[in-house]
């Protein structure tokens, strides 16, 4: 994605990966954590406002096709 936008002279810094974790009850208690197999999580990377969801979906599809993944 970065290189796609860099070609359009819209270069940006790739930010750090961020993650959220929670348990079935909606919280994540470090002092009494749920078993790891019950954890819920979401990984995120912040992108500039001009990156549209449609562009992201298209670029992901291109990479999946290029790599032969399903």
Percent of the chain topping pLDDT 90: 9
pLDDT band per the 50, 70, 90 thresholds, residue 69:
low
Q: What pLDDT shows up at residue 19?
A: 94
Q: Is residue 2 part of a domain?
A: no
d(CA 23, CA 39): 5
> 28: burial class by Cβ within 10 Å (0-12, 13-18, 19+)?
middle
Indicate the number of domains in the chain: 1
Q: Is residue 24 part of a domain?
A: yes
Q: Is residue 60 part of a domain?
A: yes
Q: Is residue 6 part of a domain?
A: no
Q: Is residue 27 part of a domain?
A: yes
The answer to whether the predicted template modeling score (pTM) of the entire model surpasses 0.75 is no
């Amino acid at each position: 994605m970065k290189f796609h936008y860099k070609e359009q002279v819209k270069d940006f810094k790739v930010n750090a990966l961020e993650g959220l974790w929670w348990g079935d009850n909606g919280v994540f208690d470090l002092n009494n954590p749920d078993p790891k197999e019950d954890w819920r999580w979401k990984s995120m990377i912040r992108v500039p406002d001009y990156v549209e969801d449609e562009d992201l979906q298209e670029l992901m599809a291109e990479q999946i096709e290029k790599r032969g993944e399903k």
